[in-house]
Amino acid sequence: MKNKSFLKSGTIFFLIQLPFIVILIVCVLLWRYESDKHQKNLNTMLDKIVSIETDKTLFIQKYRDIVMEINSSINTIDCILMLTSVYDNCKRFDLNPELVLSIIENESLFEKNAKSSAGALGLMQVMPATAKLVAHYIGMIDYDLTNISDNITLGCCYLIILLHYHSETIALAVYNAGGNYEIGLDYANDVLQDKGKWL
């Protein structure tokens, strides 16, 4: 009799607990499903990051020796910073990196402290007045035109603005000579010709 009473109370206890057990099992299964889904998303994101970083590393390896041959005084760290900035900004502004490298070669021979007689500064020889306008346009409050990253960001942004309004040749001529773009046509042709060696 005691056994039947014990079994009956155990069965009742089990039946009372059953919905909670089912809910717990469902929650665990949902959590596992969401966790697996989250893990797959995380893995996809990590794969993309690795792919981007691998592309960037290959880009740097491809051009580092060429840059250091053109400017033997550039140190390895500055060269890598410059190539990283070129890669990142070309991705950001949808620019051809070989075109940007050709501009830097023609403007400054990869000398980060270059200063023209007209007052243009840095690797991409950006005029301070142009830098101010472009920086305002992209919300860049604090910048230094002799800083590798700042100079390339401002130069690339200025270039993409010009390419939005002009053909590649005219955009390059304006980049070099401003409103007197006819003066910059030879420069534009040099940049486009030199671009071929970077491909």
- The pLDDT of residue 114: 97
Structure confidence at residue 88 as a pLDDT band (50, 70, 90): very high
Sequence-distant (≥ 6) Cβ neighbours of residue 45 within 8 angstroms: none
Nearest to 104 by CA among 131, 53, 130, 70: 70
What is the rounded average pLDDT of the residues 181-185?
93
Q: What is the pLDDT of residues 13-37, one digit of tens each?
A: 555 666 667 677 777 777 776 666 6
Residues 143, 135 contacting (CB under 8 angstroms): yes
State the residue for tokens 């960037």.
Answer: 56
What radius of gyration do the chain's Cα atoms show? 30
Mean pLDDT, the chain, rounded, equals 86
pTM: 0.74
Sketch the domain layout of the chain as residue ranges: 2-198
CB atoms within 10 A of CB 155: 28
State the residue for tokens 């920086």.
Answer: 135
CB atoms within 10 A of CB 26: 10
Structure confidence at residue 54 as a pLDDT band (50, 70, 90): confident
- The pLDDT of residue 139: 95
Residues 150, 121 contacting (CB under 8 angstroms): no
Asked whether the CA dihedral 70, 72, 76, 77 is positive or negative, the reply is: negative
Q: What is the pLDDT of residues 131-160, one digit of tens each?
A: 999 999 999 999 999 999 999 999 999 999
Given a cut of 80, is residue 76 above it in pLDDT? yes
Distance CA 100, CA 90 (A): 8
- The pLDDT of residue 199: 77
Class for the domain spanning 2-198:
mainly alpha
Q: Look at residue 157 and give its three-state secondary structure.
A: helix
Distance CA 19, CA 97 (A): 62
Distance CA 34, CA 100 (A): 44
Given a cut of 80, is residue 7 above it in pLDDT? no
Amino acid letter, residue 64: R
- The pLDDT of residue 67: 96
83, two tokens: 């190539």
Nearest to 171 by CA among 156, 179, 159: 159
Distance CA 154, CA 194 (A): 22
Asked whether the CA dihedral 85, 86, 91, 95 is positive or negative, the reply is: positive
- The pLDDT of residue 197: 84
